[in-house]
Structure 1
Amino acid sequence: MSTTGTREQQAGTVPLRGTPASAGAAVGPVVRVPEPLGEPPAGPAVPAERREDEAARIAPAAAAVGARLMALGGRPGLAPDVANVLFATSMMAEDPALLDAATAQVREHGTPPARAVYEAAAGFVAALQAAGGYMAERAGDVVDVRDRVVAELLGVPAPGVPLLEGPSVLVARDLAPADTATLEPGTALALVTEEGGPTSHTAILARSLGVPAVVGCRGAAGLAEGELVRVDGAAGTVEPVDAGTAVGADRAASGPTTVGGPVTTTDGHRVAIVANIAEAGDAERAAGVGAEGVGLLRTELTFLSAATEPAPAAQRAGYAATMAPLRGRPVTARTLDAGADKPVPFLHMAPEPNPALGVRGQRVFDQGTADHDGVLDRQLAALVGGAADAGVRLKVMAPMIATAGEAARFVARARAAGADEVGVMIEVPAAVLGARELLAEVDFVSVGTNDLTQYLFAADRQSGALAGLNDPWQPALLRLLDQLCREAALSATPVGVCGEAAADPDLAVVLVGLGVTSLSASPAALPAVAARIAALDLEACRRAAGAALAAPDAAAARAAARGVG
Structure 2
Amino acid sequence: MCCFTPDRVDLSMNCCNVVHMTVSSTPTSLGAGQVLRGVPVVPGVRYAPVIRPGRPPAIEELDSGEQIGEEQRDSEASRFTAAASAVADRLRGRAALATGAASEVLAATAMLAQDRAWLGAAEKRIKEGTPAVRATAEAVAQFVDLFTKMGGLMAERVTDLRDIRDRVIAELSGLPEPGVPVPDHPAILCAEDLAPADTAGLDPALVVGLATTLGGPTSHTAIIARQLGIPCVVAVHGLDELAAGTHVLIDGTSGTIAVTPDPAEAAAAVEAAEAANAAMAGWTGPGATADGHPVAILANVQDGSAARAARETPAEGIGLFRTELCFLNRDTEPTVEEQAAIYGEVLDAFAGHKVVIRTLDAGSDKPLKFVGHPDEANPALGVRGIRIEAIQPDILERQLDAIALAAEQTGNAPWVMAPMIATPEEAKRFAARARRRGLVPGVMIEVPAAALLAERILDHVEFLSIGTNDLAQYTMAADRMSAELATLTDPWQPGVLALVAQTARAGASRGKPVGVCGEAAADPLLACVLAGLGITSLSAAAAAVTGVGAKLASVTLQQCRDAAAAVLTTASAADARAAALDVL
Q: Does 1:15 align with 2:35?
A: yes
The one-letter code matched in structure 2 to 1:45 is Q
What TM-score results when the alignment is normalised by the length of structure 1? 0.92
Residues 388 and 26 of structure 1: is their aligned pair in 2 closer, same or farther, counting only changes over 3 Å? farther
The one-letter code matched in structure 1 to 2:117 is A
Shift of 1:211: 1.5
1:265–1:537 contact (8 Å) kept in structure 2? yes
The one-letter code matched in structure 2 to 1:356 is A
2:28–2:246 contact (8 Å) kept in structure 1? no
Q: Does 1:410 align with 2:430?
A: yes
Matching residue within 268, 275, 284 for 1:252: 275
Matching residue within 319, 330, 337 for 2:354: 330
Q: Following the alignment from structure 1 to structure 2, what is the Cα–Cα distance between the partners of residues 106 and 98?
A: 13
Q: Does 1:295 align with 2:319?
A: yes
Residues 15 and 303 of structure 1: is their aligned pair in 2 closer, same or farther, counting only changes over 3 Å? same
Aligned to 1:78: 100
Q: Following the alignment from structure 2 to structure 1, what is the Cα–Cα distance between the partners of residues 208 and 156?
A: 29
The one-letter code matched in structure 1 to 2:543 is A
Structure 1, unpaired ranges of 5+: none
Matching residue within 210, 224, 230 for 2:229: 210
1:55–1:106 contact (8 Å) kept in structure 2? yes
1:59-70 correspondence to structure 2 within 5 Å: 59-70=81-92
Q: Does 1:266 align with 2:305?
A: no
Matching residue within 43, 48, 51 for 1:31: 51
Shift of 1:14: 1.8
Structure 2, unpaired ranges of 5+: 1-24
1:307–1:346 contact (8 Å) kept in structure 2? yes
1:312-461 correspondence to structure 2 within 5 Å: 312-365=336-389, 367-368=390-391, 372-419=392-439, 421-461=440-480
Shift of 1:334: 0.5
Q: Does 1:234 align with 2:253?
A: yes
Aligned to 1:556: 575
The one-letter code matched in structure 1 to 2:357 is A
Aligned to 1:58: 80
The one-letter code matched in structure 2 to 1:55 is A
Aligned to 1:277: 301
Shift of 1:106: 2.6
Q: Following the alignment from structure 2 to structure 1, what is the Cα–Cα distance between the partners of residues 213 and 459?
A: 45
1:381–1:418 contact (8 Å) kept in structure 2? no
Query: 2:384 aligns to what SS in structure 1?
Result: coil
Residues 164 and 8 of structure 1: is their aligned pair in 2 closer, same or farther, counting only changes over 3 Å? closer
Residues 326-349 of structure 1: per-residue CA shift (max 9 Å, x gap) = 222111111111111112212222
Aligned to 2:128: 108
Residues 497 and 175 of structure 1: is their aligned pair in 2 closer, same or farther, counting only changes over 3 Å? same
Aligned to 1:499: 518
Q: Which has the higher contact order (CA 8 A, sep 6+)?
A: 2
The one-letter code matched in structure 1 to 2:351 is R
Matching residue within 206, 211, 215 for 1:187: 206
Query: 2:253 aligns to what SS in structure 1?
Result: coil
The one-letter code matched in structure 1 to 2:250 is V
The one-letter code matched in structure 2 to 1:415 is R
2:359–2:417 contact (8 Å) kept in structure 1? yes
1:108-187 correspondence to structure 2 within 5 Å: 108-109=128-129, 111-187=130-206
Residues 222 and 396 of structure 1: is their aligned pair in 2 closer, same or farther, counting only changes over 3 Å? same
Residues 84 and 460 of structure 1: is their aligned pair in 2 closer, same or farther, counting only changes over 3 Å? farther
Residues 512-554 of structure 1: per-residue CA shift (max 9 Å, x gap) = 1111000000111111111111111111111100111101111
Q: Following the alignment from structure 2 to structure 1, what is the Cα–Cα distance between the partners of residues 517 and 132?
A: 45
Residues 7 and 378 of structure 1: is their aligned pair in 2 closer, same or farther, counting only changes over 3 Å? closer
Residues 43 and 359 of structure 1: is their aligned pair in 2 closer, same or farther, counting only changes over 3 Å? same
Residues 364-408 of structure 1: per-residue CA shift (max 9 Å, x gap) = 01x11xxx3332222222223324444534111011100111111
Residues 9 and 258 of structure 1: is their aligned pair in 2 closer, same or farther, counting only changes over 3 Å? farther
Q: Does 1:49 align with 2:71?
A: yes
Aligned to 1:94: 114
**Greater alpha carbon shift after TM alignment, 154-163 vs 426-435:** 154-163
Q: How many residues are matched? A: 553
Q: Following the alignment from structure 2 to structure 1, what is the Cα–Cα distance between the partners of residues 350 and 209?
A: 30
Query: 2:100 aligns to what SS in structure 1?
Result: coil
The one-letter code matched in structure 2 to 1:62 is A
2:442–2:464 contact (8 Å) kept in structure 1? yes
1:514–1:545 contact (8 Å) kept in structure 2? yes
Amino-acid identity (%): 49
Indicate the RMSD between aligned Cα atoms, in angstroms: 2.3
Query: 1:202 aligns to what SS in structure 2?
Result: helix
1:276–1:498 contact (8 Å) kept in structure 2? yes
Residues 35 and 258 of structure 1: is their aligned pair in 2 closer, same or farther, counting only changes over 3 Å? farther
Q: Following the alignment from structure 2 to structure 1, what is the Cα–Cα distance between the partners of residues 50 and 480?
A: 27
What TM-score results when the alignment is normalised by the length of structure 2? 0.89
Shift of 1:7: 9.4
